[in-house]
Amino acid sequence: MEAVNRAVEGCERKPLSEVVGDCVQRWFQDAFKEARRGDTAMMVLVSQMYHSGYGVPKNEHKGRVWMERASRFRSSAWKVAMKRPGYNASDSDSDEADDDANQ
């Protein structure tokens, strides 16, 4: 236990917001690599991240381009175009049922 405490003392502590920011950027980079390889789900995720500015500077044009690519393989992609990153088409379908019930 003392060895762990000494190891932690030698490390520079970073604010949590900085750590989370680094993680989000790495998530975008990983998703972008997979999207470029043709993974449709990652194309949707990259589009959502560009649209919202999550892990990357906000760029609605690039978000739209990635969503167009994804929609060539998955027509339901447009249902989640304006949703937060990670929101799936199946999630969107259940929201539509809730919206219909509320009207």
- pTM for the model stands at 0.70
**Rounded to an integer, what distance in angstroms lies between the CA atom of residue 30 and that of residue 18?**
18
pLDDT in tens, the chain (103 residues): 565 555 566 678 999 999 999 999 999 999 999 999 999 999 999 999 999 999 999 999 999 999 999 999 888 777 777 777 776 655 444 444 444 444 4
Q: How many CA atoms lie within 13 A of 43 on its CB side?
A: 20
| Euclidean distance between CA atoms 83 and 52, whole angstroms | 8
Question: At which residue do the structure tokens 């199946």 appear?
Answer: 90
**What region, left, alpha or beta, does residue 83 occupy, with left being phi > 0 and alpha being psi -120 to 50 degrees?**
beta
